[in-house]
Amino acid sequence: MTKPLTPFDGTNIWALLATRADARPHHRVLRWRPFHGPGGEWSYAEFVRDAERIAAGLWLSGVRRGDRVLIHMNNCPEMLLTWFACARTGAVAVSTNAKLSCDELGDIAERVAPVLALTQADLANLVVAACPASIPLFVAPGGDVSMPATGDRIRNFSALLEAHGAPERQVDLTLAPLAIQFTSGTTSRPKGAVFTHANALWGARVGAAHMGLNEDDVSLVYLPLFHIVGLSWLTLATLWAGGTIVLQPRFSASRFWPVSVECGCTFTVMMRFCVMALDRREIPDHRYRLWNCGMLDPVLGQRYRVRVNASWGMTEVVTEGTVSDPSLPCAPGGIGRPAPEYQVRIVDDDCRAAVPGDTGHLEVRAQRGVGLFLEYYKDPAGTEAAFTSDGFFRTGDLAAQMDDGSLRYVARAKDMLKVGGENVAAAEIERVIALVDGVREAAVVAKPHEFLTEVPVAFVLLEEDVSDRDGVLAAIATVCDEKLASFKRPREIRVVRELPRSVNEKVAKRELRRILTEGRALD
C-alpha cells in the first residue's frame, strides 16, 4: 500500500530548530529558572550551538542513527539540549520518569537496550544500579548531591559540551523514530509509545495553532519534559511559534508568580493541583493571556484574569485531541470539541455511535506516525489491540457529547466500577463529594466485594482549615444519600493527608486500589 504524503516530508525536528535559529538568532529560546543556584539564558543560536556540541559528543561516544539513548532527568537545560542532540544524530531519545524506582527503570533499560545514558547527580546511583555496566553514563549537576567520581563508565556531562566536530547529517528522518515516551500504566507495566520526527513536528505545529501562539509568547514549562504535555503541548508548540520557553524543575506555588512576572509569561498549561495550590496566594499583575486547562472553567478565568482553554489529550495522541474555541459554545466542565486535525468518535460497548448525552468510549483517528504515535516499542500485539479495524485509536477514556455539541470527559474506562451488575463512574461520585464544604479533593476506586463484585470507596483530602472532621464526613454521607442511587454510594470514606500521584500529578488510582487490596492505611 502506498504511504500518503505528510505535511513534513523532507524535514525533521532538528531542521525546525535550525530554521528558527537562522531567522531569530538573538531571540531568547530558553530561560532556565531553578529553585536554587544561578539560572541561565540561551538565544536560539546559542541553543543550537550547544545542542550541536552535545550531538558531536554523542557521536564520538558511538551513538548512531536508531540507537536508543536513555535520558533520566528532571527538567533542566541539559535534558532539553540532549533531546535535540539525539534528533541531530538520528538517535532515539528515551526520556523516563525521574520518579521511577530502580526496578522500574531497570525494566525499561532492559527493554530498550540503550547504548548510552544521561542523568543528574542526585539520580546517578539509581541509574548505575538500573542500567547495564557496559554503557557509559554522563552525569550533569542535579539537586544538592555532589558529582560522582568520573571514570571509564561515569563521565561528566560537561565533556559533551566540549566535543568538537559535527556528526553526519541525517536524511529521510521524517517518519524515523525520534523518541520513546512511556505511558503511566494502569494495571500493567508501562508501554513505550514511539514517536517520529513527523509526530514532533505535528505536535509543534498543531499545538501552536490551537493556542494561537506567536513569536512574542513566553511559555512557562514546569510540567516534566518526559511527559507529553511538557514536551509537545508546551515546548515544541512554543518552538514552532518562535517564542520563548521559561523552564522550571517542577511546579512551585511559591515560585510560580515571581518567575511568571519576572519573565513576562503569557501562556502555560495549568493542572488542577496547581490551581489549588495558588488559591490562597495573592494574584499579582501579570501578562498571562491564556491558560490551557483540562476542562472549561469560566470562574477560574475571571479570578485569575486570563482566558481559559479546555482540551484533552494523552501520550499516544501527541497534542490536544479536543480543544475549546471562544467562537464556539462549550459548557463549563467541557473539554472542547474535536480538534480539526483529528477524527473523533464516541461509541458504545458494541462499537455503535453513542447517543448524545450517553457515556461511551472515546476513539481518535489520524495518520499513524504523524498525528498519532507510530507504535508501542517491540509490542506488536499491544499496538494491534490499540486500534480498531478502521484505524481509530482506542484511548481507554470515556466521554459524552453535551447538548451544545461540546464534549465532557467522564473517566478512564478502567475507572468504571461494576457494582452488582450496574456500571458506576467514579467521577460521578467524586463530583458529588466535591460539593461538600471542607472537601479539597476526592478519589473513588473499586474495592472487591464477595456478592456485588465491586463497591466504591472514597479517599478524601480535606481543606487545611477544617476543624470539624466528623461534621464533614456526615455531610458527605448526607449529600451522597441525596444525590446518588444506593448502589453508587461509597461503602467507606477514608480521610487522608495526601493522595498518591502519577507523573502528570493526576491521582494514582492504581496505588489506591493496591492499598485496598493489601488492606493498608494511607497516611
- C-beta atoms surrounding 19 within 10 Å: 13
Q: Which three cell numbers stand for residue 233?
A: 503541548
Pairing of strands 322-323, 307-312: antiparallel
d(CA 314, CA 337): 15
Nearest to 441 by CA among 464, 418, 424, 414: 464
- C-beta atoms surrounding 165 within 10 Å: 11
Full DSSP string of 152-201: SSEEETHHHHT--SPPPPP-S-TTSEEEEEE---SSSPPPEEEEEHHHHH
Q: Are the C-beta atoms of 353 and 400 separated by less than 8 Å?
A: no
Query: Given CA atoms 104, 110, 112, 116 in this order, what sign does their dihedral have?
Result: positive
Nearest to 370 by CA among 47, 8, 110, 46: 8
d(CA 180, CA 195): 6
Instruction: Tell me what pLDDT residue 416 has.
Output: 79
Query: Based on C-alpha coordinates, what's the Rg of the chain?
Result: 23
CA distances to 302, 417, 449 from 423, rounded to whole Å, are: 36, 6, 15
Strand order of the sheet with strand 267-269? 40-43, 28-32, 244-247, 218-221, 267-269, 290-293, 307-312, 322-323, 337-338
Q: Are the C-beta atoms of 55 and 85 separated by less than 8 Å?
A: yes
Which residues face 154 on adjacent strands?
A: 137
pTM: 0.85
Q: Is 209 helix (H, G, I), strand (E, B) or coil?
A: helix
Nearest to 204 by CA among 216, 195, 192: 195
Q: Which three cell numbers stand for residue 82?
A: 540532549
Q: Are the C-beta atoms of 195 and 179 separated by less than 8 Å?
A: yes
d(CA 388, CA 59): 40
**Long-range contact list for 182-186, CB < 8 A, 24+ apart?**
182/96, 182/97, 182/108, 183/315, 183/316, 184/502, 184/503, 184/504, 184/506, 185/510, 186/396, 186/412, 186/414, 186/509, 186/510
Instruction: Tell me what pLDDT residue 523 has.
Output: 54
Interhelix angle 44-60/77-89, nearest 10 degrees: 60
Contacts of 375 (CB under 8 A, 6+ apart): 194, 368, 383
Q: Are the C-beta atoms of 71 and 115 separated by less than 8 Å?
A: no
Full DSSP string of 246-257: EE-SS--HHHHH
Q: Is 398 helix (H, G, I), strand (E, B) or coil?
A: strand
d(CA 84, CA 109): 21
Q: Which three cell numbers stand for residue 256?
A: 510560580
Residues in the chain where the model's pLDDT stays below 70: 1, 184-188, 421, 503-505, 520-523
**What residue spans of 284-419 are helical by DSSP H?**
298-304, 380-385
Instruction: Tell me what pLDDT residue 514 has.
Output: 85
Q: Which three cell numbers stand for residue 514?
A: 493496591
Nearest to 460 by CA among 449, 450, 470: 470
Which residues face 422 on adjacent strands?
A: 419
Q: Are the C-beta atoms of 378 and 302 separated by less than 8 Å?
A: no
Domains and CATH numbers, the chain: 420-518 (3.30.300.30)
Nearest to 278 by CA among 260, 262, 264: 260
CA distances to 15, 174, 333, 499 from 293, rounded to whole Å, are: 30, 31, 10, 21
Q: Is 292 helix (H, G, I), strand (E, B) or coil?
A: strand
Angle (CA) 498 269 202, round 5°: 130
Tens of pLDDT, residues 478-509: 999 888 878 889 999 999 988 988 755 678 88
Rounded to an integer, what is the distance from CA 148 to the centroid of its chain? 30
d(CA 27, CA 504): 30
Which residues face 496 on adjacent strands?
A: 461
Q: Are the C-beta atoms of 221 and 227 separated by less than 8 Å?
A: no
Pairing of strands 393-401, 439-449: unpaired
Q: Are the C-beta atoms of 239 and 17 separated by less than 8 Å?
A: yes
Instruction: Tell me what pLDDT residue 308 has.
Output: 97
H/E stretch holding 424: strand 422-425
Q: Which three cell numbers stand for residue 108?
A: 525499561
Q: Are the C-beta atoms of 442 and 459 separated by less than 8 Å?
A: yes
